[in-house]
Amino acid sequence: MSTHNNILPLRLERVSYAVRGRTLIDAIGATFQAGARTIILGPNGAGKSLLLRLCHGLLTPTDGRVVWGGPFAKEARRRQAMVFQRPVMLRRTAAANIDYALALRGFSGNDRKTRLSEALRNTGLAELASQPARVLSGGEQQRLALARAWSLEPEVLFLDEPTANLDPAASRAVERIIGAIHASGTKIIMTTHDLGQARRLADEVMFLHGGRLVERSPAEAFFEKPRTDTADAFMRGELYW
């Protein structure tokens, strides 16, 4: 297993995000190192998706800073990728969707061809390569979204509830691929509200509530017994808002 360490660590310095005076992310400070799979847990509206978007640069914090600390920090944008809850596919074939992303990042020639065919093979999509992407099933589309992200060999991969709309079998397939992407050396930062999934994938857990980072613990300790009452209530299904 190779670990890239070129743009990490990712440091959040009292990052806040407010919309029309409502603070949705409240002064979160955290550092993400290479390696561990970080799972962000929390009830609906805790700010999980917002936090991912702030880290990924799709949103700009209204206060605080998002800082990439590695030697290639300047290239951070092109060394990370994100998979969304609902995969967005262009009206072209599955293969062309991956190829589009590779072209955008400036890959060309044989390198691009190799990445394309490997991404399809690694996600079990080789058979579906020439199918129009938007007529694939939800599970296949999400696998294609993972293939597209993987082909870019990002140093960090953000995933926003990637299995929220999928049945159990498709979810397991997605989890397997996430595991493989991690094994190839990519840092995983992922939100989920599926506790079973969190247990299966997490190395460490960040628990968000009301836009604040309430607790951050190693996965084993967190699932044994969270340190905070709020997280404990969430785990028992008793945290309603």
Partner 1 sequence: MAVVANAFGEALRLLTSFDAELMSIVGLSLQVSLGALFIAAVIGLPFGAALALYEFPGRRSITVFLNALMGLPPVVVGLFVYLALSRAGPFGFLELLFTPTAMVIAQTILITPIIAALTRQLVEDLWREYGEQLRSLGSGAGRAIPTLLWDGRYALITVLLAGLGRAMAEVGAVMIVGGNIAGFTRVMTTSIALETSKGNLSLALGLGIVLMLLALIVNAAAYLVRETAARQLG
Note whether 77 binds partner 1 by CB under 8 A. yes
Q: What angle do helix axes 138-151 and 168-183 make, rounded to 10 degrees?
A: 10
Among 19, 104, 183, 221, binds partner 1 (CB under 8 A): 104
Least separation in angstroms between residue 88's CB and partner 1 is 4
Q: Could you give the CA distance from residue 156 to residue 79 in angstroms, rounded to a whole number?
A: 7
List the helix and strand counts (H, then E) for the chain.
8, 9
Note whether 88 binds partner 1 by CB under 8 A. yes
Note whether 84 binds partner 1 by CB under 8 A. yes
28 or 82: CB nearest partner 1: 82
| CA 184 remoteness from chain centre | 15
Q: Could you give the CA distance from residue 43 to residue 71 in angstroms, rounded to a whole number?
A: 36
Among 5, 45, 75, 134, binds partner 1 (CB under 8 A): 134
18 or 96: CB nearest partner 1: 96
Report the 10 Å Cβ neighbour count for 11: 15
Among 105, 143, 182, 209, binds partner 1 (CB under 8 A): 105
Beta strand 187-191 with 38-41: parallel, antiparallel or unpaired?
Answer: parallel
Note whether 90 binds partner 1 by CB under 8 A. yes
Q: Could you give the CA distance from residue 140 to residue 67 in angstroms, rounded to a whole number?
A: 34
Least separation in angstroms between residue 158's CB and partner 1 is 9
SS3 state at 191: strand
Q: Could you give the CA distance from residue 73 to residue 71 in angstroms, rounded to a whole number?
A: 6
Least separation in angstroms between residue 55's CB and partner 1 is 12
Within 22-61, which residues bind partner 1 (CB under 8 A)?
53, 56, 58
Among 35, 132, 185, 210, binds partner 1 (CB under 8 A): 132
| CA 119 remoteness from chain centre | 17
186 or 217: CB nearest partner 1: 186
Note whether 183 binds partner 1 by CB under 8 A. no
Helix, strand, coil share of the chain (percent; to 5): 40, 25, 35
Contacting residues toward partner 1, per CB under 8 A: 53, 56, 58, 77-78, 81-82, 84, 88-92, 100-101, 104-105, 132-135, 148
